[in-house]
Amino acid sequence: MTQPKKQTLSIQFEQVSLIRNHTNVLNNLTFELDQQRIGIIGHNGSGKSSLVRLINGLLQPDSGKISVHGNSPSVGPQKMSAEVGFIFQNPDHQIIFPTVEEELSFGLINQGHSKQLAKEKALAILAEHQRSDWAPKAIHSLSDGQKQLVCILAVLVMEPKVLILDEPFSALDLITRYQLLNLLDSLPQQLVMISHELETLESFDRILWLESGRIFQDGTPAEVLPEYYASARKFRS
């Protein structure tokens, strides 16, 4: 029996299809994600990025129904931003403001907070992560890993319930990746992460393997990851 509480804390796709440029990017997907840590894998062009963009309304499905913790992403990404935080692959594509404090305040002001309160909250989250000295810093003076941390904090400060990460570590060195993973591990949010680093996903609760817009495999990392690895390994002579 499904408990009502569980019902609202899940991401549900019901026969969802997405067509772009006359090709089916996603084909009739039905699943329910109620685990805390969900990894999405698949070869380039399998539809991973499109799938996660449906969750916060950046893309709208051509057919089917989506529910994210009881909300429908059809209201659009602006309204969904209170519920779903989105971390993009390249920090340079999502950092809009020149200073850390402005970057962190931006989402809060959009949520209707006053400038003053936004600033206080921004400073508070920096202090919480021992980065108080970053507030006045110019973002272009930070390293890639530090920039990605700013992106994560800029989303966390908005207190979303789901965090989506689209290959967040692909440009980072191993140490930085581990440090950011420690941070992600400590978060109470539900996490949906696309990654090509299989090691990162080993501790996750569930893995979806996408192939040509369909779910090819769905299970625990122990079930799915070795097969994914083997399928790719065949191409190495």
Partner 1 sequence: MISLYMAHPSWLHKLPAGLKLLGLLLLSVLLYPVANLGLMGLMLLFTLILYASVGKPALRQLLILKPLAPLFLLIFLMQTWTVGWVSASLLVLRMLVLILLANLITLTTRMDDMMSAITPMFAPLKLFNIDPKRIAFAVTLLIRFVPVLMAVIQHLMEAWRARGGKRQVWKLAIPLTIQSIRLSDHVAEALAARGGISTITNPRVSTHEPR
∠ Cα 121 124 125 (to 5°) = 90
219 close to 202: Cβ distance less than 8 angstroms: no
C-beta closer to partner 1: residue 6 or 20: 20
Helix (H, G, I), strand (E, B) or coil at 82: coil
Helix (H, G, I), strand (E, B) or coil at 209: strand
β partners of residue 119: none
Regarding 44 and contact with partner 1 (CB under 8 A), the answer is yes
Regarding 64 and contact with partner 1 (CB under 8 A), the answer is no
C-beta closer to partner 1: residue 52 or 180: 52
∠ Cα 220 208 11 (to 5°) = 100
C-beta closer to partner 1: residue 145 or 221: 145
Regarding 17 and contact with partner 1 (CB under 8 A), the answer is no
CB of 153 to partner 1, least distance (A): 12
Stretch that binds partner 1, among 28-36, 63-71, 74-82, 227-235 (CB under 8 A): 74-82
Q: How many residues does the structure list for the chain? A: 237
19 close to 25: Cβ distance less than 8 angstroms: yes
C-alpha 120, offset from chain centre: 25
SS3 sequence of 114-156? CHHHHHHHHHHHHHHCCCHHHCCCEHHHCCHHHHHHHHHHHHH
C-beta closer to partner 1: residue 78 or 220: 78
Contact pick of 8, 9, 14, 79 for partner 1 (by CB under 8 A):
79
Regarding 57 and contact with partner 1 (CB under 8 A), the answer is yes
CB of 74 to partner 1, least distance (A): 9
Q: In the stretch 173-212, what mask flags binding to partner 1 with x, by CB under 8 A?
A: ----------------------------------------
Under the rule (CB under 8 A), what is the footprint of partner 1?
20-21, 44-45, 49-50, 53, 56-60, 75-79, 81-82, 85-86, 88, 90-99, 102, 105-107, 109-112, 115, 136-141, 147, 154-155, 158
